[in-house]
């Protein structure tokens, strides 16, 4: 997403990135999004135009890296135009790009620490970018991967990701239940929004 007045400049940047990176773009739709004045992770901090990109991507490692490369470049172009990108898709953005596009994320992290000090509720996006307000990512990830001892009357919850990319919840009794809010789907023809995050849609 980019501010209304940055529309023409960003379109030219986007065109150049797609041509230079030989991105397999199938379609781009554009919509107007009014300002969101209240959300800490608002991706429209002012009136913006949002670009939804439909693209083709194979599942091999080289193709995934290629998509990540042009996604990061596209995200940076949006940030340079005082814009942002949509979060719930493939996590291609760097933590630095995330911090610049979502400057109030630290406030959300502080509230999360108060409401969930044990970090029970988390997802791949959280593990990628939250690190004690981005101060110590390695220590955070190590702590997040260490299962806590279950209470006597409570099943232990642990996030697991199988080779197909599906995140599930291990309830501690051998049963695994798909985590509806954290399923990562793979599709040979993902839909993206600028800087996609899960192979599906990508929006800037």
Q: pTM of the entire structure?
A: 0.63
Distance CA 52, CA 173 (A): 42
pLDDT, tens digit only, all 204 positions of the chain: 999 999 999 999 999 999 999 999 999 999 999 999 889 988 888 999 999 999 999 999 999 999 999 999 999 999 999 999 988 778 899 989 998 999 888 888 888 889 988 888 888 888 888 765 444 454 444 554 555 444 444 334 334 444 444 443 344 444 444 433 333 233 334 444 444 444 445 556
Residue found by looking up tokens 């919509």 in the block: 31
Distance CA 204, CA 201 (A): 10
Q: What share of the chain is helix, strand, coil (3-state, %, to 5)?
A: 35, 20, 45
Query: CATH topology for 2-91+187-198?
Result: Alpha-Beta Plaits (3.30.70)
Distance CA 69, CA 88 (A): 18
Distance CA 107, CA 161 (A): 29
Compute CA distances 179 → 2, 165, 201, whole Å: 32, 12, 19
| Cβ atoms of residues 25 and 98 within 8 Å | no
């Amino acid at each position: 997403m980019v501010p209304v007045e940055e529309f023409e400049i960003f379109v030219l940047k986007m065109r150049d990135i797609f041509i230079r990176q030989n991105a397999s773009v199938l379609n781009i739709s554009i919509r107007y999004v009014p300002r969101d004045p209240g959300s800490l992770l608002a991706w429209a901090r002012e009136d913006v135009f949002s670009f939804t990109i439909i693209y083709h991507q194979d599942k091999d490692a080289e193709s995934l890296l290629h998509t990540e490369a042009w996604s990061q470049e596209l995200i940076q172009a949006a940030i340079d135009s005082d814009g942002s990108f949509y979060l719930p898709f493939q996590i291609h953005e760097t933590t630095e790009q995330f911090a610049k596009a979502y400057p109030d994320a630290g406030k959300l992290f502080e509230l999360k620490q108060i409401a969930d000090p044990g970090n029970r509720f988390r997802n791949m996006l959280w593990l990628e970018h939250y690190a004690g307000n981005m101060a110590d990512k390695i220590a955070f990830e190590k702590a997040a991967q260490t299962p806590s001892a279950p209470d006597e009357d409570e099943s232990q919850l642990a996030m697991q990701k199988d080779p197909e990319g599906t995140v599930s919840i291990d309830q501690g009794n051998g049963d695994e239940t798909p985590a509806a809010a954290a399923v990562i789907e793979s599709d040979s023809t993902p839909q993206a929004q600028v800087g996609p995050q899960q192979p599906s849609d990508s929006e800037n």
